[in-house]
Chains A and B, each alone.
Chain A
Amino acid sequence: MEDTKRNKLSPRKRLTNFLVHLLLAVLAVIWVLPIFWIILTSFRAEPGAYTNTFLPQGYTLANYIKLFTDRNVLNFPKMFKNTLIIAICCCFFSTFFVLSVAYSLSRMRFKFRKPYMNIAMILGLFPGFMAMIAQYFILKAMGLTEGSAIRIGLIIVYSACTGLGFQIAKGFFDTIPRSIDEAAVMDGATQWQVFTRITMPLAKPIVIYTVMTSFIAPWVDFIFAKVICRANADQFTVAIGLWNMLQKEYIYQWYTCFAAGAVIISIPIAILFIYMQRFYVEGMSGAVKG
């Protein structure tokens, strides 16, 4: 920076600056190190969870290869496929649900509006697991807990209640000036046209944000998946698979593969996250568009 060179900083200020950067560097190391370590582990040649050295002794791609070829013990490719299917369906339904609810609450005025928001707030206070057990029983009564129907069960579980998570999207819609809607209405648009042709394009960041979060959800949840899949190894999702790799009976053989799996699913999530970081910030601070 030319400016800083010209205006010579006082020694005290330079010291603080140095300390701040040092602090940031130390913190960054603390935060990055575990991730770095996982990546290293995923390339580690020697198996087992507990080693005597911090850095691997040998490097190999075998962990990745095993992850995607070994179908006998833990069928990771199958789990990956399951999760992908579930995630795509979920993404579709959840996005529709969240945006519909958020738009209705933000833009339309109807009698049920306030009660709905209050109900949503109250439901949000119940521990998620309270409903989980009962959801399982309901799915069971609907015959969705056996065989490949489990997939449908999981899709339902992941997307059915997303209508309660409208807050961020609604907050964003609220910042779009109402007069834009009114102008569209005067121009002859129906509410549906306002929704699809005006609000959706304007709310692109939040649409992307919603799509991403709902796509990611099935990849990182393992509790619902575990309760609903039970012992149906055929229908396991990636999360359960990874969880299983760390159980006593598998951990020695599979620990490095676990690291490889973790890296594999982290990459797309990392890309998505870095891309949507800005929407995340905007969603929180409520950027006014217009």
Chain B
Amino acid sequence: MATISLRHIQKIYPNVQVEERRKKKGEDPKKKKNNLKITEEGVVAVDDFNLEIADREFVVFVGPSGCGKSTTLRMVAGLEDITRGDLYIDGVRMNDIEPRDRDIAMVFQNYALYPHMTVRQNLEFPLELRKVPKDQMKKQVDEAAEILGITEYLDRKPKALSGGQRQRVAIGRAIVREPKVLLMDEPLSNLDAKLRNQMRAEIIKLRQRIDSTFIYVTHDQTEAMTLGDRIVIMKDGEVQQIGTPQEVFNKPVNIFVAGFIGMPQMNFYDGKLLKEGDRYVIDVLGARIVPSEDKQARLRERNIAPMDITVGARPEHITLKETEGAMMEGTVDVSEMMGSSIHIHLNAGGNDSIIIVPTLDLGDRDLSIGSKVRFTFAPNVVHMFDRETGKNLEYI
């Protein structure tokens, strides 16, 4: 039972430290590696992070490396100081409270099991430090082991376990003391693809069985989409969008979110937004696409003036069905037969793009390299981004 609120959380690494670290790595200390904001105080690793997490919610922080997602998680854990802002768990301010008193558990990317202890000792360690009585300790350990299916390994040392088993033990050690909050820092990224899928399913099951609130950090958008009740997308220390998987997929607030969520990536083309009387029209690659009515309404509502835009369309929303006046043309680079669908890599007006077409829709079309393909976007799922700011014009 725990709600978490992060209010205006900020993390700044003093310049001295950062420069020193870079100098040691043999890099140019003045050169900026990423686009983190630099103020007089230092490098802003996380800036103005605001989030209210409900009890038992599963929140995923996702973003490219160096975006500040792990730093934020570690601030919640208490492993990093919070430079500015307030962290509350169940309404109690946690900034100055030691990690052990926050009732938080954490699963690390590299498992961080204690190599010199058996699995049982690993699981007992947090209970022992909290002076839980022996018999209760045994009960809790057995229970956690049972949930994760590691009962038979209890007397082995971590070294004798496979990656997946180690990860279960790591999770077991985190849930054994029934923490209010369970933090997971890229827990699956050391596993191979097959195990990762399996563990992902296990984590979903685990959720049903324990009452903790979850915060999960990953750089993998698939994990984020499949696990999260809500997703926080971050970039360069700033929150880009917070929302349910559906929201961030269907209504990306900017070009970054649009590109980051979804696999394969959204296609982007330079285009123009025009206004014909009361209607908005997109001019892209020589085609004219009229956005659907709800989109028209949202644009009108925001009183958008004609401008240069970036047009975005997901590969699965591009179709080869002929629509008059709206067809674009591209040259096939590669086409990959995936079974039920075909991924066609196109070069359209200098942009690389991918189209996913159901195999059945294809007919006997020629898809050899160099052949021409005509395509168009579905007007109800085309996205329009301000080319200057990258913002989605429908959700400014």
Contacts and interface: CB of A to CB of B under 8 A. Distances in A.
A141 interface: no
Interface residues of B, number: 20
B229 to A, nearest CB: 23
Interface string B85-117: 000000000000001100011101110111110
Given A186-B77, A188-B126, A201-B116, A179 B100 contact: no
A182 B112 contact: yes
Given A184-B125, A188-B126, A198 B114 contact: yes
Contacts of B99: 185-186
A38 interface: no
Contact of A182 (B108, B114, B130): B108
Contacts of A187: 100, 105, 125-126, 129, 173
A185 B114 contact: no
Interface in B109-158: 109-110, 112-116, 125-126, 129-130
Contact of B110 (A185, A190, A289, A290): A290
B79 interface: yes
Contacts of A177: 110, 112
A168 interface: no
Contacts of B105: 186-187
A198 B125 CA distance: 10
Interface in B28-83: 77, 79
A247 interface: no
A251 to B, nearest CB: 52
Contact of A185 (B79, B113, B116, B173): B79
A179 B115 contact: no
Contact of A179 (B112, B125, B173): B112
A22 interface: no
A284 to B, nearest CB: 21
Contact of B129 (A179, A188, A201): A188
A179 B116 contact: no
A186 B104 contact: yes
Given A180-B112, A198-B114, A201-B116, A186 B130 contact: no
A65 interface: no
Nearest to B130: A188
B87 to A, nearest CB: 15
Interface in A139-188: 177, 179-180, 182-188
A202 interface: yes
Nearest to B74: A182
Contacts of B100: 185-190
A104 interface: no
Contact of B116 (A183, A188, A190, A202): A202
A179 B110 contact: yes
Contacts of B129: 187-189, 193
Contacts of B115: 180, 202, 289-290
A115 to B, nearest CB: 14
B125 A182 contact: no
Contact of B112 (A183, A189, A201, A289): A183
Given A201-B116, A202-B115, A186 B110 contact: no
Contacts of A198: 114
Contacts of A179: 108-110, 112
Contacts of A204: 116
A289 B106 CA distance: 21
Contacts of A184: 114, 125
Contacts of B130: 188
A286 to B, nearest CB: 17
Nearest to B125: A187
Contact of A180 (B79, B114, B126): B114
A106 to B, nearest CB: 16
Nearest to A289: B115
A196 to B, nearest CB: 12
A202 B129 CA distance: 19
B96 to A, nearest CB: 15
Given A185-B79, A186-B77, A186-B99, 12 more contacts: A179-B109, A180-B112, A180-B114, A182-B77, A182-B106, A186-B79, A186-B106, A187-B126, A188-B130, A189-B100, A193-B129, A290-B110
27 contacts: A177-B110, A177-B112, A179-B109, A180-B112, A180-B113, A180-B114, A182-B77, A182-B106, A183-B114, A183-B173, A184-B114, A185-B99, A185-B100, A186-B99, A187-B100, A187-B129, A187-B173, A188-B100, A189-B100, A189-B125, A201-B116, A202-B114, A202-B115, A204-B116, A289-B115, A290-B110, A290-B115
Interface of A: 177, 179-180, 182-190, 193, 198, 201-202, 204, 289-290
User: Across chains A and B, which 3 residue pairs bring their CB atoms closest together, nearest first?
Assistant: A187-B126, A183-B112, A188-B100
